[in-house]
Structure 1
Amino acid sequence: MPKTVCVINGHPDPAKGHFVEALADAYAHGAGEGDHTVSRIDIARLPIEFLRNAAEFGRPPCEAIIAERAKIASADHVVLIYPLWMGSMPALCKAFLEQVGRDGFMMDTSDKANEMPVRKMAGKSVRLIVTMGMPGFAYRLIFGAHSVKAVKQGIFRLVGFKPVRHTILGMVEAAGAEGRAKMIARVQALGHWAR
């Protein structure tokens, strides 16, 4: 069944040639081949500021963010691709998610009488694709993939995405052209099935 897919390139550097961008291209290409409707967000090209307090989080973001989050609102499936930096997602990627979530976009907590927030992303699925220099098994076994678990639980599941899946691609620099080509083919196949 065709889906509407939003692919988010979470690399903070606007320069071309990053592997994360190639993966975003591959996923989008695969989704297009699978007859899915695809939109794209490249966070490095957006005016993203860091939030400083709860009052800012309660107000709407800038028009550029509002335009991009409309792509998330219309999507059945969201894919966020980012590199692992210092054990977590890059700060600008996290700031993007905070900007998107402003003003109750992802979760409405305004009903104080009920006290149960409305998870506004219910009915949508998400996949995280995380690249890293270390081996993926080491990240899982030694570090427990804690940052990926935190993003899955503390952001996406919290606001209603289900299922929340992830793909960890390790040793991307050491893999060489052949290894990276296999990773790209794997991600393109995920895109074909919008998984």
Structure 2
Amino acid sequence: MAQVKHITLIQGHPDPQGGHFCHVLADAYLRGAAQSGHAIQVIDVAQLEFPLLRSRAEFHGGPVPDDIAQAQSALAGAEHLVFIYPIWMGTMPALLKGFLEQAFRPGFAVNELGKGVLKGKSARIVVTMAMPALIYRWYYRAHGLRSFEHNILGFAGIGPMRENLIGMVEGMNDAARQKWVHKMEKQGRAGC
């Protein structure tokens, strides 16, 4: 049995109606994590209320919306973070990026000396896409994912990071989908 962890899962699909493969994967991870007794919190970005930041002043010192403050509390209390989102135009959807800009502000994710203050937290990043995952990784060099890992999570001190790149989601057959569901349940049980 895996060591019990405090896990925060960030559902980054922007559709508030749900029902996408990202939601199925999140449910599978949560089922597995619950089976191992992990303490779990979920942040569903599509259900949050927050404005986009439009200036440096807002980013550095503007008021933190209530939903973002609650999300920051969940992020701060976690040992392991799980981000699940689709690739849109080569990177994460704009709503997830807007959430990260709000949540990972200076003072929360980085101190006044520019040091990451979320050190000691690990992360798993699960991304779905219409193209083959190998094309995204090798031809496009997974530029959006790499930017997220290095410029947001790594800058905040988060690591190690693991990733699942799930390609051809729109044409995936039921057997392939079930294979990913089982893999996510297993990763949830392990808390990784």
Equivalent residue of 2:84, what SS? strand
Question: Are 2:179 and 1:179 aligned?
Answer: no
Where does 1:96-107 land on structure 2 (aligned, <5 Å)? Answer: 96-107=99-110
In the alignment, the residues of structure 2 paired with residue 140 and residue 16 of structure 1 have an alpha-carbon distance, to the nearest angstrom, of: 27
Q: Percentage identity across aligned positions?
A: 40
In the alignment, the residues of structure 2 paired with residue 10 and residue 176 of structure 1 have an alpha-carbon distance, to the nearest angstrom, of: 23
**What is the aligned partner in structure 1 of residue 137 from structure 2?**
140
Question: Are 2:25 and 1:18 aligned?
Answer: no
In the alignment, the residues of structure 1 paired with residue 128 and residue 18 of structure 2 have an alpha-carbon distance, to the nearest angstrom, of: 17
Q: Which runs of 5+ in 1 are unaligned?
A: 110-115
In the alignment, the residues of structure 2 paired with residue 118 and residue 150 of structure 1 have an alpha-carbon distance, to the nearest angstrom, of: 18
Alpha-carbon displacement from aligned partner over 1:2-33 (angstroms, at most 9, x marks no partner): 11000111001101211111111111111111
CA contact (8 A) 1:61 1:102 kept: no
| Change beyond 3 A, Cα 1:142–1:148 | same
**What is the aligned partner in structure 2 of residue 88 from structure 1?**
91
Q: CA deviation at 1:102?
A: 2.5
Alpha-carbon displacement from aligned partner over 1:57-88 (angstroms, at most 9, x marks no partner): 11241111101221111000000000000000
**What is the aligned partner in structure 1 of residue 190 from structure 2?**
193
**What is the aligned partner in structure 2 of residue 40 from structure 1?**
42
TM-score by length of 1: 0.93
Q: Which moved more, 1:77-86 or 1:41-50?
A: 41-50
For 1:23, the aligned partner's letter is: L
- Of 31, 39, 53, the residue aligned with 2:55 is 53
Q: CA deviation at 1:103?
A: 4.7
Q: CA deviation at 1:175?
A: 1.0
Aligned residues: 189
In the alignment, the residues of structure 1 paired with residue 102 and residue 130 of structure 2 have an alpha-carbon distance, to the nearest angstrom, of: 28
**What is the aligned partner in structure 2 of residue 68 from structure 1?**
71
Q: CA deviation at 1:48?
A: 2.7
Q: Which runs of 5+ in 2 are unaligned?
A: none
**What is the aligned partner in structure 2 of residue 112 from structure 1?**
none
In the alignment, the residues of structure 1 paired with residue 117 and residue 27 of structure 2 have an alpha-carbon distance, to the nearest angstrom, of: 28
Alpha-carbon RMSD: 1.1
In the alignment, the residues of structure 2 paired with residue 181 and residue 48 of structure 1 have an alpha-carbon distance, to the nearest angstrom, of: 35
In the alignment, the residues of structure 2 paired with residue 31 and residue 65 of structure 1 have an alpha-carbon distance, to the nearest angstrom, of: 24
CA contact (8 A) 1:6 1:72 kept: yes
Equivalent residue of 2:170, what SS? coil
TM-score by length of 2: 0.95
For 1:99, the aligned partner's letter is: Q
In the alignment, the residues of structure 1 paired with residue 51 and residue 65 of structure 2 have an alpha-carbon distance, to the nearest angstrom, of: 10
For 1:138, the aligned partner's letter is: I
Equivalent residue of 2:91, what SS? coil
